[in-house]
Homo-oligomer: A and B are copies of this chain.
Amino acid sequence: MEPKTFFRLIFLIVTAGFIISFTSTNFPHAPSSTTGLLDCTDSSSSPLCASRNFLFNKQKPSFSKKDPKPKPKNHDHLSDTPTHPLDPLTVMEFNKVRSLLSSHALFSSGAPHAFHSIVLEEPEKNLVRAWEKGNPLPPRKASVIARVGSDTHMLTVDLSSGRVDIVDSPVRVSGYPLMTLEEMNEVTFAPFQSADVNRTIVSRGVDLTDVCCFPISSGWYGKKEENKRVIKSQCFSSQGTANFYMRPIEGLTILLDLDTKQVIEIVDTGPTIPIPGSTNTEYRFKNLGTPDKTRGLNPISIEQPRGPSFVIEDNHLVKWANWEFHLKPDPRAGVVLSQVRVHDPDTQETREVMYQGFVSELFVPYMDPSDAWYFKTYMDAGEYGFGLTAMPLVPLNDCPRNAAYMDAVFTAADGTPFVRENMVCIFERYAGDIGWRHSESPISGLPIKEVRPKVTLVVRMAASVGNYDYIIDYEFQTDGLIKAKVGLSGILMVKGTSYQNKNQVHKEKDGNEEELHGTLLSENIIGVIHDHYVTFYLDLDVDGPDNSFLKVNLKRQMTEPGESPRTSYIKAVKNIVKTEKDAQIKLSLYDPSEFHVVNSAKTTRVGNPTGYKIVPRATAASLLDHDDPPQKRGAFTNNQIWVTPYNKSEKWAGGLFTYQSHGDDTLAVWSDRDRDIENKDIVVWYTLGFHHVPCQEDFPIMPTVSSSFDLKPANFFERNPILRAAPNFEHDLPVCEAKSVSA
């Protein structure tokens, strides 16, 4: 090593050490202000304020002063009080929990500790269902998952009695709790503690001040991931671009101890692979210069000059058209819908549809078995937190102008609450679609043309789990249908390669091309093939909790000779599914079924059991070997549909402790117990999947791809519940003007 390089390294190591010591005093136990709320007014104080990265302090916010500003909030959350049994913990409650925990023996010893999850311990379902507005709230409790040293503990804090109960301490299962935001952030700079890391980076021709490292959950494959919380870090060059994801230092993988943040191992399999260039990778509006004005679009907007038609009562209870439901942000699930009920226009009753629905887990395996890629098999909810990574929505762009926003209050690793502003938006949507229509045709010649426009209510969040952005929409239709939609955007996880053109790719001896595990997207960049699975927890309670799962199998029936000029027809064969294993459903185009959740105790006037059906739409199934370690952990994707009896402890499809888990506490394991599910309180699990073979259009940022599934009333109402909906009339619609061209 030349003396110059050596001195440079020394300098960098010292610098990195300084940064670590600076940040370790600032990040993990962010000081709280006098309000008991994390102070984000100085945006440098914590990554939870999500505004700054120490390596990027040269960056300015990307929007100009012309940016839309979020509307002022009704309140600052400091004086929030819960009014519904399912309301999330408030700032005051979080502070009380923190105070109670601080005097508990586990945390008062001075041993390093962190709170990985503090959320409302939801009251028993029967208490919540029985509760009515005006009643006192069931006892408020917090459910706490903490790490002290190298042990995990579960506790419950009773907010009225002040009692702290240990639920499990230390926890003895294969997995660990989801990471704290502080940990994820620390891992972005922890690698620089290691002179070897720095030397390797420099040897790859990247300036240390340009490096950005990224925490990658390591999964579980055996020895390396046993009995120790570990994480992998991979690094990128941000030189010349904010889109550092497109400039991987390919092959460099750093294994760290997630408790101590010490580097355990450095592997560099890519010294000969160049860092892809920064050309064409920029995506920020202000840096792109003139927008493409080819046949530019005139302004267009969803307008409601009389305001939206929904109300949000007591911060969390959304009422719109015939729907009402409780809505809350959750650090792990993103958003949780509870007590979803719909008004029946015939009976004037408000009827139960779903007790709770949310994203339970995600599974995102990449399809490259090589050293720097095999472990990329993310479980974004249980490892990173789908709510923790849901960033403030951008008004006018993430949600239309008529949207309302809901903040989240989550906690830092030291238990201090912080506000994630505008985490959820709620808006009414008119997309020009048709609710129902009928014209009489020239055949009858009747003068009938009846059409009703379709207006819906959308609840939206967008999680940015590192490079990827997941947009989750729950859309409520007045005809009783609920659509759950997942949109994928953001930035690909790409692989560096020495190839600049497909014509350089090696031919194998058999004449086949070398396996690239993806698509050459640009010079030296391969978009690696991967899947996305989003598993939804759907505790449907159709007219009450006791429901059954009815499979309506459509099968070809041949006619008897002489019975008909037809030789075949489709017959619907209905069967109530008795036990869990028979409700492990793989969809098949040529063996189709409908999947109903019915209440056998309640029938319509003509005798059909009331029901809702799960309507799968476009999806993908995991093709991985069931014995492959990631598929064992992601075994909840082995079927598209599962049905389990309600069990308060079975919420997270990949297990409560997903991180590095061995797959011993998944939905697949629970379902294999084959419990009785007939006429029981049942939970349906649906997995929405995507195969993603990247294409050049995904570079440098992906146009949104989305898919969805529906929950649809099926003999729930006596008849079309929007029969009496009114059409649009010109005199009802707004009068709009363009704003002046200036500005």
Q: Mark A319-352, 1 if CB is under 8 A from B, else 0.
A: 1111000000000000000000001010000000
Residues of B near A606 (CB, < 8 A) are 500-502, 520-523, 696
Whether A369 contacts B529 by the Cβ 8 Å rule is no
Answer whether A53 and B717 are a contact pair too, CB < 8 Å, given A434-B487, A554-B691.
no
Whether A435 contacts B703 by the Cβ 8 Å rule is yes
Neighbour of A441 across the interface among B391, B451, B568, B720, CB < 8 A? B391
Stretch at the interface among A167-175, A585-593, A668-676: A585-593
Q: Which of A63, A294, A397 has the most CB of B within 10 A?
A: A397
Q: Mark A423-435, 1 if CB is under 8 A from B, else 0.
A: 0000111111111
The complex is assembled from copies of this chain, and their number is: 2
Does A699 make an interface contact (CB < 8 A)?
yes
Q: Mark A21-61, 1 if CB is under 8 A from B, else 0.
A: 00000000000000000000000000110111100100111
Does A296 make an interface contact (CB < 8 A)?
yes
**Complex A-B: 17 CB contacts under 8 Å:** A48-B442, A53-B446, A68-B730, A302-B430, A303-B734, A375-B565, A384-B443, A388-B442, A397-B452, A438-B464, A454-B704, A479-B697, A517-B569, A586-B589, A590-B623, A592-B691, A700-B723
Whether A304 contacts B294 by the Cβ 8 Å rule is no
Complex: A49 Cα to B98 Cα, angstroms: 75
Q: A220 CB to closest chain B CB, in angstroms? A: 9
Whether A297 contacts B280 by the Cβ 8 Å rule is no
Whether A62 contacts B449 by the Cβ 8 Å rule is yes
Does A291 make an interface contact (CB < 8 A)?
yes
Does A737 make an interface contact (CB < 8 A)?
yes
Complex: A329 Cα to B707 Cα, angstroms: 31
Neighbour of A697 across the interface among B63, B292, B480, CB < 8 A? B480
Does A731 make an interface contact (CB < 8 A)?
yes
Complex: A517 Cα to B618 Cα, angstroms: 27
Stretch at the interface among A113-121, A256-264, A305-313, A649-657: A305-313
Complex: A624 Cα to B439 Cα, angstroms: 31
Does A137 make an interface contact (CB < 8 A)?
no
Q: Which residue of B lies closest to A724 (CB)?
A: B292
Does A548 make an interface contact (CB < 8 A)?
no
Does A601 make an interface contact (CB < 8 A)?
no
Residues of B near A563 (CB, < 8 A) are 369
Number of interface residues of A (CB under 8 A): 222
Whether A697 contacts B714 by the Cβ 8 Å rule is yes
Does A558 make an interface contact (CB < 8 A)?
yes
Q: Mark A561-593, 1 if CB is under 8 A from B, else 0.
A: 001111111111000000000000011111010
Answer whether A704 and B569 are a contact pair too, CB < 8 Å, given A300-B428, A589-B620, A607-B501.
no
Whether B298 contacts A304 by the Cβ 8 Å rule is yes
Stretch at the interface among A72-80, A103-111, A181-189, A190-198: A181-189
Whether A434 contacts B471 by the Cβ 8 Å rule is yes
Complex: A721 Cα to B497 Cα, angstroms: 24
Does A556 make an interface contact (CB < 8 A)?
yes
Whether A212 contacts B700 by the Cβ 8 Å rule is no
Q: A274 CB to closest chain B CB, in angstroms? A: 14
Complex: A80 Cα to B413 Cα, angstroms: 73
